[in-house]
Amino acid sequence: MRDRLPSTRWLYVLAGAGALGVAGTYQFVWSSIRPELGARLVATEASLGTVFTVYVVAQTLSQFPAGWFRDRYGPRVPMAVGALLLAAGYAGTALAGAIWQVYLAYAVGGIGVGAVYTVAVNTPVKWFTDYRGLATGAVTMAFGGVSVLFIPAVRGGLTSDFTGTLLTTAAVTGVVALAAAAVLRDPDQSSDGESGDDVSAPADAYTWRETLRTWQFWLLYAMLVVVNGVGLMLIGKAVAFAEQYGLPAAVATVAASAVALSDSAGIVTIGGLSDRLGRERTIAATVTVCGVAIAAAVWAGEAGHGWLFVGLLGAAAFFRSPVFSVTPALVGDYYGQARSSQNYALLYTAKVWGGIGGGVVASALIATIGWSSSFLLGAVGMSGVGLLTGLLRPVE
């Protein structure tokens, strides 16, 4: 049968990556939309910041119900609904005449991103045992990587035709995600997957309530809170971090690009290596090294070594990001594939607290103890939680 050919499962990975890539534009293209939107609506800085907060909360909390539905009824319906919501969110933003309408539009889009994310990221978990880390990494990398293609077009079009540019973006994101919905499927629950996975095994798969009762879940949750919090501080403040050391403007600009590109590269590169190195070992090593790189970047910045500072920030991003390809695979390993979508969605709620930590808390710390001390504190947190994840063991 064609659907059992080894190449078929990679088609599902490609479809999931395409859908997740266009969904990721909500997060990574926002910085380009924000200035034009603010001028158009005469919106305050605080109100524009609230738009992104609304998006993060909607995207994170929508994943559990979407994952619950997908584990029972397959990927196509939640992916199709997500596609329609992606298009509706951008269309609503394009036509908004007041900031509250943007809140609503970005909440709708955020729910769409959550549905697409949980379907796309968990597709490799259900189809792969071999190469699971590589396949999950390839999908996850698209979340930020595809936005590199969108950013120039969106930035160029917004100033001349704000509404038309966003309506075009709405159409593209909706069509790509709908195409993925038509392609995606899960392995038959009556048989093993293409790689010999026991994808059905409902008796052996943990329910979300059972998952919450394991110490492994809470250690992974704490790790993701720290990784999201420090990572958002790194991504969102890279330029200002460089500027506060008096480094040249070119260094600050390259620092932001280095963080973005390294983030995507680390996801797929180390995600693939985790299949051979072991997932627990990979997470423990990379998160620990990320903390060391952040601390070294503080030293380089204080010493005025601009390009070394850029390289170390890139290294920090490179070693932080593999968590997001390895953790979904690890959840499938620990708690079974049959309910992997809802179990990972439950774990992913850590992003809410990480977002608060990397935004409000980080800004308060910088104002209180300064840039260097705040980033050193983040470095200690990263390395500390990295060492703790070395205690992870399969659920018994």
Report pLDDT digits (tens) over 77-113.
999 999 999 999 999 999 999 999 999 999 999 999 9
Using a 10 angstrom Cβ sphere, with 0-12 exposed, 13-18 middle and 19 or more buried, the burial of residue 71 is buried
Contact 200, 190 (CB under 8 A): yes
* pLDDT-derived band at 325, boundaries 50, 70, 90: confident
Q: 206 by DSSP, 3-state: which? A: coil
Question: How far apart are the C-alpha atoms of 249 and 239, rounded to whole Å?
Answer: 9
Q: Max alpha carbon distance in the chain (Å)?
A: 63
pLDDT of residue 154: 82
Question: How far apart are the C-alpha atoms of 228 and 55, rounded to whole Å?
Answer: 15
Q: In this model, does residue 3 exceed pLDDT 60?
A: no
Q: Which long-range contacts (CB under 8 A, 24 or more apart) does 194-199 make?
A: 194/4, 194/5, 194/6, 194/8, 194/9, 194/127, 195/9, 195/127, 195/128, 195/129, 195/130, 195/131, 196/129, 197/126, 197/127, 197/128, 197/129, 197/337, 198/337, 199/126, 199/127, 199/337, 199/338
Contact 55, 109 (CB under 8 A): yes
Average pLDDT of span 57-77: 88
Question: How far apart are the C-alpha atoms of 77 and 17, rounded to whole Å?
Answer: 17
**Closest by Cα among 214, 224, 221 to 335:** 214
Report phi then psi at 71, rounded to 5.
-65, -25
Distances (CA, A) of 128 to 124, 154, 277, 327: 6, 36, 17, 14
Q: In this model, does residue 5 exceed pLDDT 70?
A: no
Contact 374, 362 (CB under 8 A): yes
* pLDDT-derived band at 363, boundaries 50, 70, 90: confident
Q: In this model, does residue 172 exceed pLDDT 70?
A: yes
Helix H or strand E encompassing 364: helix 362-369
In which residue are the tokens 């939309």 written? 33
Q: In this model, does residue 201 exceed pLDDT 70?
A: no
Query: Residue 110 is encoded by which pair of tokens?
Result: 């955020």
Distances (CA, A) of 95 to 26, 87, 109, 167: 16, 12, 14, 9
Judged by average pLDDT, the poorest of 41-45, 286-290, 344-348 is: 41-45
CATH of domain 208-391: 1.20.1250.20
Question: How far apart are the C-alpha atoms of 158 and 223, rounded to whole Å?
Answer: 38
What is the number of alpha carbons within 13 Å of residue 151 lying toward its C-beta? 14
Q: In this model, does residue 291 exceed pLDDT 90?
A: yes
* pLDDT-derived band at 192, boundaries 50, 70, 90: very low
- Torsional class of 395: left (φ above 0), alpha (ψ -120 to 50), beta (otherwise): beta
Question: How far apart are the C-alpha atoms of 391 and 263, rounded to whole Å?
Answer: 25
Using a 10 angstrom Cβ sphere, with 0-12 exposed, 13-18 middle and 19 or more buried, the burial of residue 290 is buried
Which residues lie below 8 Å from residue 238, measured CB to CB, with a gap of 6+? 252, 255, 256, 259, 313
Most confident among 18-22, 158-162, 346-350, 356-360 (mean pLDDT): 18-22
Tell me whether domains 2-183 and 208-391 share a fold: yes
Judged by average pLDDT, the poorest of 64-73, 264-273, 275-284, 344-353 is: 264-273
301: amino acid identity, one letter: G
In which residue are the tokens 């910041």 written? 49
Distances (CA, A) of 305 to 4, 131, 244, 312: 54, 39, 13, 11
What is the number of alpha carbons within 13 Å of residue 355 lying toward its C-beta? 18
Residue, of 136 and 103, whose pLDDT is higher: 103
Contact 71, 342 (CB under 8 A): yes
The domain limits of the chain are 2-183, 208-391
pLDDT of residue 199: 41
CATH architecture of 2-183: Up-down Bundle (1.20)
